[in-house]
Structure 1
Amino acid sequence: MSIFGKVKNTINLLKSVDLDQLANISKHIDLPEAMNALGALDERQLKGLMKMLKTKKKKGQSDLPPIDGDFYNLDLKLTPEQREIQLKVRNFMEDEVKPLVNDHWNRAKFPFEIIEKFAKLNVAGVPYEGYGCPNHSFLMEGIIAQEIARVDVSISTFFGVHSGLAMGSIYLCGSEAQKQEWLPAMQKLEKIGAFGLTEPNVGSGVAGGMETTCSFDGENWVLNGQKKWIGNATFADVIIIWARDEDTNRVKGFIVRKENPGFKAEKMEDKMALRIVQNALITLTNCKIPENDRLKHANSFKDTAKVLRMTRAGVAWQAVGCARGAYESALKYTKKREQFGRPIASFQLIQDHLVEMLSNLTAMQTLVFRLSEMQDQGILTDEHASLAKVFCSMRTRDVVSRAREVLGGNGILLEYDVARFVADAEAIYSYEGTKEINTLIVGRAITGYSAFVN
């Protein structure tokens, strides 16, 4: 290759990479060789090189802006430590998870091989204090949820169930002995958790209509009933089960171990969304739980609601991650896909879709950012979390729909990722409280009247 060729290739490569890629640039070019080549140029050659670099590029070949869904630069509000964690999770998801998610999603299989690598990120139980947990902030937990969902919502759900619902139940409602027994191992992902609340016949009305029962026989608590849609339950080591006390009619929480007699978890098949998540139908048949495994501070549904309030904000962040993944995938596609001799990103109608997507995404991002700030300040209420869940899950639906639109027929193929985001957005729309239930929670707060049916 000529000197001019070496220098030109070096400059073009430097222009084409972002900051995250600069660390790996030596893998692509020989920097010492390129700089030596540049230094060897005489005056005539240097003038020719400068003329070549100043030559105006042809229309359509100008440098394009980077693909980044953070249009208002909210990342700049993060501390250097928070930014480091964010990028660590992002790189892990891009390098370790993204190459395998479509295959596992298609086969409805969980990539167990990532768990050990995931544990090294040290992000489980991020907002909790003690027990080996990082003790950062709820904002950091939200950022992590977004980064995981930006690549795959299923893996984000796996993590949210384990770190948020399961660990959160023990952290908020467990005794000190229970916390010491479970939280350090769960933080390291040595033990995996699940959360059993929803039932086959009761979803939104579970607070007053829970069918799973518990009774004390003098030695053990005996659980009977079923739980449905329980993520991670096919392989979890510990499952938090909520049951109604037959004597007091109050809801209690239990730590159920997978080896407990009378516990059975059957994988649910044929889902159209979150196919990597291993949801289970749990059947409890005279399942005996010792008193030591009853959550000591879970004595009514109000205690269950504390866990849900804490984790609902995380689901809103998941919705943001799903929307961001769809938007960035669609934007990338439109810059490469050509029709009528031009990239479709240059067409007015495509740009209209992209701007609508970005508008929704940016509104969602600023909302959840403030939501987590309120959670860290201790002023988060049920209605605050519910409003975020309602808005973000609805707007995500719109974003993924437009992403599928700009991809045309390719929008239904897994290889372009958008199809997976479209399907998974439907699950986000329903779990952790439907749009209707969360709407009524907010409506009650702003009007003073409860519209719930008694």
Structure 2
Amino acid sequence: MSGAFFNSEGISALLQQFDVSKLVELSKKVDLLQVIKNLNSMDDQQLAGLMKVLNAKPKNRELPEIDGDFYDVSHTLTPEQRELQLKVRHFMETEIKPIVNEYWLKDEFPFQIIPKFRELNICGVTYDGYGCPNLPFLMEGVLAMEMARIDSSIATFFGVQSGLSMGSIYICGSEEQKQKWLPQMQKLEKIGAFGLTEPEVGSGAAGGLTTTCKKTDDGWILNGQKKWIGNATFADLIIIWARDLDDNEVKGFIVEKDNPGFAVEKIHGKMALRIVQNGLITLTDCFVTEENRLQNANSFKDTAKVLQMTRAGVAWMATGCARGAYESALDYTRTRKQFGKPIASFQMIQGHLVEMLSNLTAMQTMVFRLSEMQDEGILKDEHASLAKVFCTMRTRDIVSRAREVMGGNGILLEHDVARFVADSEAIYSYEGTKEINSLIVGRSITGFSAFV
């Protein structure tokens, strides 16, 4: 009979095989008599099932790889491009990730990474000549995403150097200026910055710059201030955009750090992108030679060419920030246990993760197409603006959910997501707020300009 063993003689024989002290400890955890009664009431099939469970060897669960590229949009990259992507990923994971929280907290830049960064040979990634790689715009975006996946500040440093600063010279400079500056900047021997935003002028830069320039017999005199200028505290040269007092047009200048009348003060107290060294620049009768005026920058339309080229990079950066937050949160939920099992096994947590991945996947497919359009030469302002609006909004949602699934630990730097949450706020605002970029798209689709 199925319960034949569980008579008084059988129980007595069973107990003799166990250490009494261990049985006492076990009895504190479970009701042994109730367990025996339940066993005694089981039929053969139930007992066989129980023994199968008890005799089963524990299996090592092999979890899926953590990869935010759920639709494998990177499959379009060539083997050489994929190799470069992974090279930059390895650099960010091995050289940047171990130090990033320390420097973010200290509000300092890790200058020791610049020589290592130089070895990647990726500055001026899309430019032709001057030692630049001359790769597709798609790769510029992919690399920006890989950097922001670990840290948005380092991605911003690179974007200012390779995109805004070098791009201003590449697009608006004379051949002599390109030959002089771009090879050195490509090798990070010279660090650049980009000065457009002012203390009282952000979105209205197209028609309201208060920084002025005045032609003299020997060169130009610049007066005014620039604010939020990344890399400004240690840059060797800063691209300054100023309104010409004679013709009221915006012109560009290469202002070197030792120019008379140039001064910069570090901006303190930021809650985001703390590794980026933003500066408040003051130009007081700052003299710049004609040689250092960007020879092909004669109106704000020329400035806008630089901004259009780099705005797609901000959408990619937002995507990288979101991907880093998602992957960090996914990793955390698979190891964090509550109620005896990983929280990733709970339905509500999986719901958050899937919504994060849905937005992230939409963002990745959008920016891939955006860069394809840029490579095809059909990118317009409204295309870049739409991506900037959508990606930065969705990033805010993703980092918020990432923090939520991590509970209280989500506000600790050691888990990275707190940094992604803070940095996403800066990405949301710079290179055109959500409202301004929305109006650019709105003007395109309605035919009416809603700008004041």
| CA drift at 1:231 | 0.1
Amino acid corresponding to residue 164 of structure 1 in structure 2: G
In 1, Cα distance between the equivalents of 2:141 and 2:385? 15
| CA drift at 1:56 | 6.7
In 2, Cα distance between the equivalents of 1:56 and 1:140? 50
Amino acid corresponding to residue 290 of structure 1 in structure 2: T
In 1, Cα distance between the equivalents of 2:340 and 2:311? 46
Quote the residue 2:48 is aligned against: none
Amino acid corresponding to residue 270 of structure 1 in structure 2: G
Quote the residue 1:41 is aligned against: none
Quote the residue 2:64 is aligned against: 65
The alignment partner of 1:131 has SS state of coil
Structure 2's unaligned 5+ residue stretches are 1-54
Quote the residue 1:232 is aligned against: 231
Residues 364 and 179 (structure 1 numbering): CA distance in 2 closer, same or farther, change over 3 Å?
same
The alignment partner of 1:195 has SS state of strand
Quote the residue 2:42 is aligned against: none
Quote the residue 1:121 is aligned against: 120
| CA drift at 1:218 | 1.3
Quote the residue 1:349 is aligned against: 348
Amino acid corresponding to residue 107 of structure 1 in structure 2: K
The alignment partner of 1:112 has SS state of coil
In 2, Cα distance between the equivalents of 1:255 and 1:239? 6
Q: How many pairs align?
A: 398
Residues 256 and 344 (structure 1 numbering): CA distance in 2 closer, same or farther, change over 3 Å?
same
| CA drift at 1:356 | 0.3
Quote the residue 1:258 is aligned against: 257
Quote the residue 1:160 is aligned against: 159
| CA drift at 1:223 | 0.1
In 1, Cα distance between the equivalents of 2:394 and 2:250? 34
Quote the residue 1:33 is aligned against: none
CA-to-aligned-CA distance 1:97-117 (integer Å, 9 cap, x gap): 100000000000000000000
Alignment of 1:330-349 (within 5 A): 330-349=329-348
Quote the residue 2:303 is aligned against: 304
Q: Give the alignment's TM-score, normalised by structure 2.
A: 0.87
Quote the residue 1:185 is aligned against: 184
Alignment root-mean-square deviation, CA: 0.9
Quote the residue 2:214 is aligned against: 215
Amino acid corresponding to residue 399 of structure 2 in structure 1: V
The alignment partner of 2:129 has SS state of coil
In 2, Cα distance between the equivalents of 1:119 and 1:361? 30
Q: Which has the larger radius of gyration?
A: 2
In 2, Cα distance between the equivalents of 1:169 and 1:57? 65
CA-to-aligned-CA distance 1:120-143 (integer Å, 9 cap, x gap): 000000000000000011000000
| CA drift at 1:58 | 3.8
| CA drift at 1:192 | 0.5
In 1, Cα distance between the equivalents of 2:146 and 2:93? 10
Quote the residue 2:51 is aligned against: none
Q: What percentage of residue pairs aligned between the two structures are identical?
A: 75
In 1, Cα distance between the equivalents of 2:216 and 2:295? 18
Quote the residue 2:168 is aligned against: 169
In 1, Cα distance between the equivalents of 2:331 and 2:131? 40
Residues 57 and 78 (structure 1 numbering): CA distance in 2 closer, same or farther, change over 3 Å?
farther
Quote the residue 1:81 is aligned against: 80
The alignment partner of 2:112 has SS state of helix
Quote the residue 1:388 is aligned against: 387
In 2, Cα distance between the equivalents of 1:393 and 1:251? 29
Quote the residue 2:415 is aligned against: 416
Quote the residue 1:46 is aligned against: none
| CA drift at 1:217 | 1.5
Quote the residue 1:249 is aligned against: 248
In 2, Cα distance between the equivalents of 1:229 and 1:168? 19
In 2, Cα distance between the equivalents of 1:197 and 1:394? 24
Residues 237 and 57 (structure 1 numbering): CA distance in 2 closer, same or farther, change over 3 Å?
farther
Quote the residue 1:49 is aligned against: none
Amino acid corresponding to residue 346 of structure 2 in structure 1: F
Alignment of 1:193-208 (within 5 A): 193-208=192-207
| CA drift at 1:432 | 0.4
In 2, Cα distance between the equivalents of 1:314 and 1:125? 13
Alignment of 1:129-144 (within 5 A): 129-144=128-143
In 1, Cα distance between the equivalents of 2:372 and 2:118? 26
Amino acid corresponding to residue 353 of structure 1 in structure 2: H
Residues 241 and 66 (structure 1 numbering): CA distance in 2 closer, same or farther, change over 3 Å?
same
Shift >3 Å, 4+ stretches: 55-59
| CA drift at 1:220 | 1.4
Quote the residue 2:433 is aligned against: 434
Amino acid corresponding to residue 177 of structure 1 in structure 2: E
In 2, Cα distance between the equivalents of 1:206 and 1:221? 21
Q: Give the alignment's TM-score, normalised by structure 1.
A: 0.87
Residues 66 and 217 (structure 1 numbering): CA distance in 2 closer, same or farther, change over 3 Å?
same
| CA drift at 1:387 | 0.2
In 1, Cα distance between the equivalents of 2:263 and 2:406? 43
- Matching of residue 445 in structure 1 with residue 444 in structure 2: yes
